[in-house]
Chains A and B, each alone.
Chain A
Amino acid sequence: MPGLLAEWIDPNIVPEMARRLGEGSVIVTGTNGKTTTARLLRGIVRAAGLRVVANRAGSNLMRGIAAALAESAGLGGDFAGARRLLGVFEVDEATLPQAVRALRPRVVLFTNLFRDQLDRYGEVEHVAAVWRDAVFALGRSATVVLNADDPSVAALAQAAPGQVLVYGVEDTSRGIDRLEHAADARWCSSCGGELAYATVFYGHLGHWSCPQCRAARPPSRVVATRVEPEAEGTRVAIAMPGAEVSVGLPLMGLYNAYNVLAAVAAAVALGIDAEATERGLSSFTAAFGRQERLTVGGRRVQVILAKNPAGLNEVLRTITADGQQKDVALFLNDDIADGRDVSWIWDVDFDLLAGKVRSLTVSGNRAWDMALRLKYAGLDSLPQVEERAAAALRRALRATPEDATLYVIPTYTAMLRVRALLARWARRPAFWQEG
């Protein structure tokens, strides 16, 4: 259905239509990883023999959910084969209360809670309070799936009227020894004391406990026992009650291991077996703009969305992990969907790039903000600055040697633009060279 038409759909249709989904609905929410996790889960659900209704990547407000439901239904509003139909919806953090009321979900999966777009969502504390209320309003038959390693997500267990399923990473070899600058939830949500960490994975995610009160990371039922970086992806071994799955995915970085783990935990909550889970995961292709790979003019291009400090830190850590010189293009926009406030870039550890970049291009309407931030990153030279996206992308591609990979790291609206350009150029390979 064309996007414009979707604008006409009344979100009030959601409760009625959601009731007709024979297998009910799953909500995936959180700051980072919603799109990728929902996509992984859809693959698993299909492998288990169910049919899926899902909203488009990023269309995660009520209207996007309404459009997805209307699109799948016939003219009379009925679904063909409704009995085997499951809704898998990624839901914006602030939209969760409405989505919970309208969908009456079977499972609500939380990924993590990071500082993101303070101008739009308000403070992290505020989002946590909204989530608590939304969880409290769930039916007793709903299962809440929580990340043990994120203290403010784990704390939601106290509000859950029904079952809680917790997942976490046990492979401490992937940890770092101290909290990075972007860490948010370093204060105990029970007593307000400063949390202690035995291991930090990224941001404020890790093995935490509160020295002041008895609060501590809860034991997990679904556990990542091993996370191993591979040449172009990650291998994750996950233990769940009575079974273990091991998958290699074309996704890099610990944050993607969390996405896989979260999707598997949701599958467990849905009662899907390990065999279908493994099959579903292996059919995965990268979600829209999240680490998809293209080839343009003999250069591989990888587009990785990053829109907050914790996410961008982890992306930088991942692409620089092998110690080789990289070609990188950073796109910073400040439209509403990106967050109007770009001050978050000062909380990113761009020092991770020092000595590890061969070419560095910055673009977007806040390109000069990014350039100034990078002046403080201890790099050998200043980046190339080009505010216009097409010209910047051309320049970055030229600076990238043939057969090397250009890592394009955009904010949300810049990702849409970059992706449209790359898709066009990938079809006409020499276009970007025309100048």
Chain B
Amino acid sequence: MEPNLRLAHLYPKLMNIYGDRGNILCLERRCRERGIGFEVTELGLGEKLKPKEYDLIFIGGAQDREQRRVAEDLVKVKGKALREAVDKGGTLLAVCGGYQLMGRYYRTAEGEELPGVGAFGLWTEHPGPAAKRFIGNVVVEWCGQTLVGFENHGGRTHLDEGVEPLGRVVSGFGNNGEDGGEGAVSRNAYGTYLHGALLPKNPRFADHLIETALRRRHKGLELTPLDDRVEGMAHAAAVRLTTRRGMISR
């Protein structure tokens, strides 16, 4: 049977800031070029998530007002299904605002506490309107390679003891600007502050997600390599620009 990737895109109309569309375009292209089918189901407010119907779940970033509406819906409508999906090894990518909401809670700049899904052992607190936002290019070390992207967040994310970050910050701020961690991993679920969009310039990470997602139904599936020369150049340029500008280095 020809494999196909079934993607659930959560709140595409509300959580679509920072070019998140690029992540979807990238997943689709990298599947189709390999003859792998690709189906997206967009799930908005009030729509139930049935984890068994999807191989990969994606949630992007949002502005504060939208984040509040999504937080409510996540807890009331989709939270339980998301926790189940992650516990059972389902593949998920959560970026920026979506990442924050996958934790236990997000405390806003005004001190309001938005309850999170609790799929990751982490919490996020915004130190207040006067606090510095973490804005800039980021380079992260991930599995012996680099991930590149752009971060723009006021919240500081802290991981529970034993929860692994997605990678180590080479340049930039990452989760909280202190411990050198960026993002989080919980089984096959990944959270990150990196947009840019994230996946087009990090094709190996994109393939890692596709492979992980498909292997649950297609054991031993191997992805064929693609022509990633333009991706490689864009990735290299991002590393060069980020590190040359003398951002905070660790």
Contact surface of A with B, Cβ cutoff 8 Å: 115, 118-119, 123-125, 181, 186-187, 192, 194, 334, 340-347, 365-369, 371-373, 375-376, 382, 385, 387
- Decide if A368 touches B237 in the complex (CB within 8 Å): yes
Q: Which residues of B does A touch, CB under 8 Å?
A: 13, 17-22, 25-26, 29, 63-66, 69, 135-137, 150, 152, 195-197, 200-201, 230-231, 233-234, 236-238, 241
B18 touches A372 (CB 8 A): no
A194 contacts which chain B residues (CB < 8 A)? 13
B136's partner among A115, A181, A340, A375 (CB-CB below 8 A) is A340
Identify B18's interface contact among A187, A340, A343, CB under 8 A: A343
- Which residue of the partner chain A has the closest CB to B240? A365
State whether B19 touches A372 (Cβ < 8 A): no
Cα A334 to Cα B69 with chains together (Å): 32
**14 A–B contacts from the bound complex (CB under 8 Å):** A119-B136, A123-B17, A334-B241, A340-B150, A341-B18, A341-B150, A344-B19, A346-B197, A347-B19, A365-B241, A366-B237, A368-B236, A372-B230, A382-B230
List the A side residues contacting B237 at CB < 8 Å: 365-369, 387
Q: Specify the chain A residue showing the minimal Cβ separation from B149.
A: A343
Cα of A343 to Cα of B197 in the assembled complex, Å? 6
| Cβ-defined contact, B25 with A372, below 8 A | no
The 9 closest A-B pairs by CB, nearest first: A346-B19, A346-B22, A343-B19, A368-B234, A123-B63, A372-B234, A368-B233, A368-B237, A341-B150
Closest Cβ–Cβ distance, residue A98 to chain B (whole Å): 18
Contact assessment for B63 and A124 in the assembled complex, using a CB-CB cutoff below 8 Å: yes
Q: How far is the CA of A119 from the CA of B66 in the complex (A)?
A: 18
Residue of B20, B150, B196, B230 most packed against chain A (CB within 10 A) = B230
The answer to whether A372 and B231 have CB atoms under 8 Å apart is yes
Beta-carbon contact of B234 and A192 below 8 Å: no
Q: How far is the CA of A422 from the CA of B34 in the complex (A)?
A: 44
Closest to B22 in A: A346
| Structural contact, A372 and B64, CB atoms closer than 8 A | no
B238 touches A369 (CB 8 A): yes
Chain B hits for A124, CB < 8 A: 63
Determine if A125 and B25 form an interchain contact, defined as CB atoms under 8 angstroms apart.
no
Q: Can you name 19 extra interface pairs (CB under 8 A) apart from A125-B65, A385-B233?
A: A119-B135, A125-B64, A187-B65, A334-B241, A340-B135, A342-B150, A343-B196, A343-B197, A346-B19, A346-B21, A346-B22, A346-B200, A365-B241, A366-B241, A368-B230, A372-B201, A372-B231, A372-B234, A376-B22
Smallest CB separation, B18 vs chain A (Å)? 5
Give every chain A residue within 8 A of B29 (Cβ-Cβ).
376
Given the known inter-chain contacts A334-B241, A343-B22, please indicate yes or no for A369 contacting B64, CB distance below 8 A: no
CA distance A16 to B135 in the complex (A): 37
| A347 and B64 contacting across the interface, CB-CB below 8 Å | no
B201 partner residues in chain A, CB cutoff 8 A: 369, 372
CB pair A371 B230 closer than 8 Å:
yes
Min C-beta distance of A306 to chain B, whole Å: 16
C-alpha gap A407/B237 in the complex (Å) = 25
What is the chain B residue whose CB lies nearest that of A375? B230
CA distance A368 to B197 in the complex (A): 13
* Residue from B26, B63, B137 with most neighbouring chain A CB atoms (10 Å): B63
How many Å from the CB of B67 to the closest CB on chain A? Answer: 10
**A372 with B200: CB separation less than 8 A:** yes
| Contact, CB under 8 Å: A376 / B200 | yes
Q: How far is the CA of A371 from the CA of B233 in the complex (A)?
A: 9
Find chain A residues with CB under 8 A from B137 CB. 340
CB B168 to nearest CB in A, in angstroms, measures 22
Complex Cα distance, B65 from A125, in Å, reads 8
